[in-house]
Amino acid sequence: MSAGVKRSHDEAEEQDVLAKRQVTGDGISSGDETQMALKILIGNKSAGSVIGKAGATINSIKDTSGAKVKVSSNSETFPGTADRIVLISGKVETVLSAAKMVISEMYRDPNSGRVPDDVNAVMTVSIVIPAAACGLVIGKGGEKINSLREETQAKIQLQAKDKVAIPGLNERIVTIQGTLPQAQTAVEKIVHLIHEDGNIRYENLGTNYGMSGMMGKGLGQGYGMGMMPMQGAAAMYGGMQMPMGMDMASQGMGMAPGMPGVVPGQEYWGMSQHGLGTDMHTVLKLSITDDAVGPLLGKGGCNLKEYISVSGANIKVSQRGDTIPGTNNRYITIQGTAAAVQYAQLLVLQKAPNATPV
């Protein structure tokens, strides 16, 4: 299948999104209709340029634009990428002003220090939009995205739904390739498009995509696991039944001591907990069939490395031959805070749904 045919197919899948999209969270348009937020993905080298020596550049961007600008730490990357997140918020005109300056820094030549504006300086800029905005960007039959491409002369591609790194992550990447003016204009048009709708929101108005950052919700509002909405947990499991028939919310599985249903030091769903509060150390051991290890690890261990990165937990798979007595199954050991271990387990179960507690 050619790239053009595949792109048309991906875009056709979005045709009904306009009628179906749901608005949730705190997102790209906050309580005041004039308020906006935008996330730009940025590599470590460009992040240094945006921040500047002793924060001089980022402070200048804030002062000049009037927007709030935050660059995530090098440990806070967008799921499925090695990129950090620049979060810009404020009135739409201030967000766009700051975005243009941030993008300029991404195009800056590290050797000459010059920001090029000629047709030869072609780069790639990636922004993150709420999944609910994809229908707007695509338009009926791909009409809108094709129009954006023609108007800006930039290559614009929306991340396919099946390429999202974590199920339930309701954000998609828009990749823009072109000269500096083309990239800036494309971002401006996309932001205006979303802003004019007035209802599109990020679920995670932050830069932390670890478990606490993504879910960031408390108990008492239909949320399980202390942080994750139960529907989000179900999405992570791909709709399968919770292991051992356990209801995370009612069992208080892995929640910090002092939360309902939790006894310090007691084991929950194969987890043992030691310590107190946010420093609590949790260890979980799972049994995994030998043939499921390859899909879990991924090529060169890429899947496992990503799960470790996004969850914040330490995940180890036992060597071939180091099996559970009486079986050919190997061990998966997950260690970290309770929240990190829970999140890591959900990720592991995507690739190894039959993994069971030891």
Task: Among 141, 166, 197, give the residue marking a domain's end.
Answer: 197
The parts of the chain modelled with pLDDT lower than 50 are: 3, 5-9, 12-27, 29-33, 212-279
pTM flag (> 0.75): no
Query: Residue 222: inside a domain, yes or no?
Result: yes
Let me know whether 179 and 321 are in one domain: no
Q: Tell the residue number behind the tokens 């107190």, with chain if given.
A: 276
Task: Give the count of alpha carbons within 13 A of 354, CB side only.
Answer: 9
- Estimate to the nearest angstrom the gap between the alpha carbon of 211 and the chain centroid: 10
DSSP string, 144-197: HHHHHHHHH--EEEEPPGGG-SSTT--EEEEEEEE-HHHHHHHHHHHHHHHHHH
Residues 332, 219 share a domain: yes
246 and 132 in a common domain: no
Q: Is residue 202 part of a domain?
A: no
12 with 49, same domain: the answer is yes
216 shares its domain with 189: no
Nearest-angstrom CA–CA distance, 88 and 95 = 6
Residue 185, domain extent: 3-197
- Integer angstrom CA distances of residue 211 from 166, 168, 232, 307: 11, 12, 11, 11
Express as a percent the part of the chain with pLDDT over 90: 39
CA dihedral 67, 122, 46, 149 (to 10 degrees): 40
pLDDT in the model for residue 204: 85
248 and 185 inside one domain: no
Sequence-separated (6 or more) residues with CB below 8 Å from residue 109: 115, 116
**pLDDT score recorded for residue 15:** 43
**pLDDT for the residue 175:** 97
Residue 240 CB: number of other CB atoms within 10 A? Answer: 12
Question: Looking at residue 113, which CATH number applies to its domain?
Answer: 3.30.310.210
Query: Do residues 17 and 138 both lie within one domain?
Result: yes
Q: Which two tokens stand for residue 110?
A: 């590290």
> Residue 34's pLDDT is what?
56
Letter string b/e over residues 36-58, b meaning 16 or more CB atoms within 10 A of that residue's CB: bbbbbbbeeebbbbbbeeeeebb
CATH of the domain at 353: 3.30.1370.10
Which of 197, 222, 251 marks a domain boundary? 197
Looking at the fold, whether 149 and 215 belong to one and the same domain comes out as no
Mean predicted lDDT score pLDDT of the chain = 75
* Total of domains in the chain: 2
Q: Is residue 206 part of a domain?
A: no
232 and 347 in a single domain? The answer is yes
Domain end call among 174, 197, 220: 197
Q: Is residue 203 part of a domain?
A: no
Looking at residue 354, its pLDDT comes to: 83
117 lies in the same domain as 181: yes
Rg (CA), the chain: 22
Confidence (pLDDT) at 223: 27
* 34, 175: one domain: yes
- Please check whether residue 205 lies inside any domain of the structure: no
Query: Do 230 and 294 have their domain in common?
Result: yes
Cα dihedral: 127, 128, 130, 133 (round 10) = 30
